[in-house]
Amino acid sequence: MNPYVEAGYAVILGTLGSYSVSLVARERAARRRVGAPGKAAGAADAAAGPDEPPSGASP
Amino acid sequence: MSRAQFSPPADRAGFALRLLGATALVGVAATVWLGLFVTPPDRFMGNLVRLLYVHPPMAWVAFLAYGVAGLASLLYLWPRTTAPHFDRLAGASAEVGVVFTGLTLVSGSIWGRPTWGAWWVWDPLLTTTALLFVLYLGYLALRRVPGDFHVRARRSAIAALIAFVDVPIVYFSVDWWRSLHQAPTITAGRTYVHGSMAWTLLLGFVSFTLVYIWLMAHRYRLAKLNEFEDAEGLEVALAERRAEAVTG
């Protein structure tokens, strides 16, 4: 196989893999910090209030 | 705003998202297997053609991501449809778009070295794509500037629409200017690849689009959780100030 081809696939798959893992890990950590319910308790939160963040909230 | 009014987001779409992630993973694995081991080498490019099963899908997903970010920004700015989830969607989609633009540039550069003899040329398509990357990096930086949610969301939405102007320029640059870069392999009504090569390319487009949706959904959920954390922090600070005022 051509080394350029191998490098191209490695960069794409490596970057997307790392980004995916980091996103899922950050989401899980944030969910733990706020104590948000997981799938088992998800139904209890179904009546969550309006989707409106307060003034001053950053992204 | 009280905690009861702005509850922590539940993991409601968990199963659907996991199914989507698994489907995307299988699709990408199949694309890689077909692209590397099943499809034949090209008559002119040889094995380098295998990079073209992943490079155009990267560019397509970047365009799609910026399109979604632009549409969401427009809906946020439109008074009848303005809502925080459109701001969140724009931010999530643009971030994933930046990742795919970076991969478009890097995979294109890796293909360009043996084909053109240079890692980088100041070609109109490459230059406008690099500009697109920088514009959306700036957009993501602007989103991090602290301030009132709606003020920040409004200025971010305007910036997203300004940055989006570069997307059609990138796409049409190969037609508008003399470019080293080849014209699109698949255009409306005509395709320049056939057989297993065409199917592999198509599978690449579909699989990486699914990857985009999966990544964007996770980024959106993370943004929502972060907003909740900020709101909670604000509430605690306000409660402390109130307590100080009463006791002091």
What is the nearest CA distance from B79 to chain A, expressed in angstroms?
Answer: 16
Please, what is the average pLDDT of chain B?
89
What's the pLDDT score for residue B54? 96
pLDDT band at B237 (very low <50, low <70, confident <90, very high): confident
State residue B86's pLDDT score.
Answer: 96
- Which of helix, strand or coil describes residue B187? strand
Residues 6+ apart with CB under 8 A from A20: B214, B215, B218
Pick from A47-51, B82-86, B225-229 the range whose average pLDDT is largest. Answer: B82-86
Radius of gyration of chain B (CA): 22
Q: Can you tell me the distance from the alpha carbon of B218 to that of B106, in angstroms, rounded to the nearest whole number?
A: 24
Q: What percentage of chain B has pLDDT greater than the value 90?
A: 67
Task: Give B192's strand partners.
Answer: none
Record: contact A1-B230, CB cut-off 8 A: no
Contact (CB<8Å) B10/A11: no
Contact B95, B219 (CB under 8 A): yes
Nearest chain A residue to B17 by CA: give it. A24
Q: CB-CB: which of B106, B148, B232 is closest to A56? A: B148
Paired with B186 in beta bridges are B191
Put simply, the answer to whether A34 touches B232 (Cβ < 8 Å) is yes
Q: Is some CB atom of chain A closer than 8 A to the CB atom of B230?
A: yes
What pLDDT does residue B26 have? 98
Chain A residues in contact with B73 by the CB 8 A cut-off are: none
pLDDT band at B232 (very low <50, low <70, confident <90, very high): confident
Phi, psi of B194, rounded to the nearest 5 degrees: -140, 170
Q: How much is the pLDDT for A43?
A: 36
Q: With bands split at pLDDT 50, 70 and 90, how would you rate the model's confidence at B184?
A: low
Highest mean pLDDT among A47-56, B146-155, B156-165, B171-180: B156-165
Paired with B42 in beta bridges are B46
| Cβ partners under 8 Å of residue B146, min gap 6 | A56, A58, B152
Whether A53 and B224 have beta carbons less than 8 Å apart is answered as: no
> Which of B32, B223, B227 is nearest residue A9 as measured by Cβ atoms?
B32
Query: CA torsion, points A29, A35, A39, A44, in degrees to nearest 10?
Result: -160
Contact B6, A37 (CB under 8 A): no
What ipTM did this prediction achieve? 0.86
> Dmax over Cα atoms in chain B, in whole Å?
83
CA atoms within a 13 Å half-sphere pointing along the CA-CB vector of B56: 22
Nearest CA in chain B to A49: B5
Other Cβ atoms closer than 10 A to B224: 21
Highest mean pLDDT among A47-56, B195-204, B211-220: B211-220
Give B22's DSSP letter.
H
Q: Please check whether residue A28 is in contact with residue A38, taking contact to mean a CB–CB distance below 8 angstroms.
A: no
Average pLDDT over residues A13-40: 86
Q: Which of B8-22, B68-82, B196-210 has the lowest mean pLDDT?
A: B8-22
Q: What percent of chain B has pLDDT over 70?
A: 91
- The predicted model gives B66-71 an average pLDDT of 98
State the pLDDT confidence band at B17, using cuts at 50, 70 and 90.
very high
Is it the case that residue A16 has pLDDT exceeding 90?
yes
Identify all chain B residues contacting A57, using CB atoms and an 8 Å cutoff.
149, 227, 230-231, 234
Residue B181 identity (one-letter amino acid): H
Alpha-carbon distance B152 to nearest alpha carbon in chain A (angstroms): 8
Task: Give residue-wise pLDDT tens across range B90-137.
Answer: 999 999 999 999 999 999 999 999 998 999 999 999 999 999 999 999
Res. B186 pLDDT band, cuts 50 70 90: low
pLDDT of residue A41 exceeding 50: no
> Could you tell me which residues come within 8 angstroms of residue B204 by beta carbon, excluding any fewer than 6 positions away?
B31, B35, B53, B54, B56, B57
For residue A45, pLDDT beyond 50: no
Element holding B85 (H helix, E strand): helix B84-116
What pLDDT sits at residue A49? 43
Which one has a higher pLDDT value, B244 or B188? Answer: B244
pLDDT attached to residue B169: 95
SS3 of chain A: helix, strand, coil, percent, to 5: 60, 0, 40
